[in-house]
Structure 1
């Protein structure tokens, strides 16, 4: 175990470029890591159903999804941390009054509390996925919801941050914010996996580029920020590699000594 490592990769802006395409050098690097006996995993804010195609393409069966709220090790769910129902219901009522739509997401699907809204269309379409939320305002009442999306302009989320201390709000798009359980993060999900696999911290690696990667990058010992990341994200990481467009994954893996 001591000469093998576990490497966690974010998806958007890390494995995938701005056009949601995976550079060929990235794919080859992932398979080379696996060939060398390393454990390769994904750590993303996406729902499991939003990146099954990527898992299949890369033959990856271990992942942290929903920013740490739904964690799977070798195909088995090992950790779940859903949103609290009562505050989610109250937030939904307030958001509806403010014309701020909400989308509810479990491990299988996502549903919106309004039939349609331009903010939902605008933000979800940037993910370039084949899934789109359909209308079911009561979806959250009968199942565990691991993440919600609040659709509002930048700054408008502050009123909710103060009113709902059970949740963390992380912006991922100019008109959309992730709603997560308070204190939930990719770092917590990674901790669950590493504890079960037994990898010491010096053999843990993480690559990311977004605001939701900051805790992961500041917690994992060998962390690498992409060159396309914002400055605040780069400051959280131990290393900074090139942009995803410029073979950043391959360059970063060579930088930290995992590939030659």
Structure 2
């Protein structure tokens, strides 16, 4: 095991403020880490193609995507864990019968099984992204690493009764992530650490949402943003300032990674 340090950053509400912009202080802090040999990585529920510009802007080439199901280091895939195709068929059948649309994500693109759905439009609009294209057969012809089920929270219980091939992580009023059972950002991070032979004692992570809880509990220095959910803050070792108040910069100072800055 090496003593190499690595820091994982969630995207929405962490790297990106509520205007979906990267604060200048965050850019400067990440550049400082890189200049000092610290590996900077992204850990997100998003698909790789959904944050390519962020990676370019921050010069980050290591990431855990799809909530841990697709992991890349220096542009090389080190771990992938797609959804069960058979179980996905059953889930889609149940969702269709209930009137709930779905979207499906490969490592390179996405598609939905309903065109013009208001839940899909609202969810992606809040991400400030274009909704997926309509393609009924996309998920039958591609390896799928994550799906989105568009329903409200009180409808989600019906899906929890299905065979436990999947886990559901709500990220929006109208949408929940569908990932393989046992999958999480923490699992993806562990796979990366094993590949790079990095001791977990030298790991740091920033997050704010439900899908960050296991990650913040797993790394040695879990840091919740000031705007994080209470459940996420409870899982963290430290709580930094709000994303709109230079939260990443102050959090890195708190754990001693920005000494002298």
TM-score per shorter chain, which class?
A: over 0.9
Alignment of structure 1 residues 164-175 onto 2, 5 Å: 164-175=163-174
Task: Quote the residue 1:154 is aligned against.
Answer: 153
Structure 1: runs of 5 or more not aligned? none
Deviation at 1:139, TM superposition (A): 1.0
2:73 is the alignment partner of 1:73: yes
The DSSP-based 3-state class of the residue aligned with 2:161 is helix
Deviations 1:42-101 (A, max 9, x none): 000000000000000011111000000010011001111011111111111111121100
Alignment of structure 1 residues 96-111 onto 2, 5 Å: 96-111=96-111
Deviation at 1:164, TM superposition (A): 3.5
Evaluate the alpha carbon distance shift between residue 259 and residue 248 of structure 1 in structure 2; reply closer, same or farther with a 3 A threshold: same
For residues 248 and 75 of structure 1, the distance between their equivalents in structure 2, rounded to whole angstroms, comes to 28
Is residue 3–residue 198 contact of structure 2 (8 Å, CA) maintained in 1? no
Alignment of structure 1 residues 30-41 onto 2, 5 Å: 30-41=30-41
TM-score, structure 2 normalization:
0.97
Is residue 210–residue 230 contact of structure 1 (8 Å, CA) maintained in 2? yes
Alignment of structure 1 residues 125-204 onto 2, 5 Å: 125-129=125-129, 131-204=130-203
Is residue 91–residue 164 contact of structure 1 (8 Å, CA) maintained in 2? no
For residues 97 and 197 of structure 1, the distance between their equivalents in structure 2, rounded to whole angstroms, comes to 45
Task: Quote the residue 1:249 is aligned against.
Answer: 248
For residues 183 and 139 of structure 2, the distance between their equivalents in structure 1, rounded to whole angstroms, comes to 19
Q: Which runs of 4+ in 1 moved over 3 A?
A: 1-4
Say what the alpha-carbon RMSD is for the aligned residues.
Answer: 1.1
For residues 162 and 214 of structure 1, the distance between their equivalents in structure 2, rounded to whole angstroms, comes to 23
Is residue 79–residue 192 contact of structure 2 (8 Å, CA) maintained in 1? no
TM-score, structure 1 normalization:
0.97
Task: Quote the residue 1:26 is aligned against.
Answer: 26
Deviations 1:138-179 (A, max 9, x none): 111122100000000112111001114100000000000000
Aligned length: 259
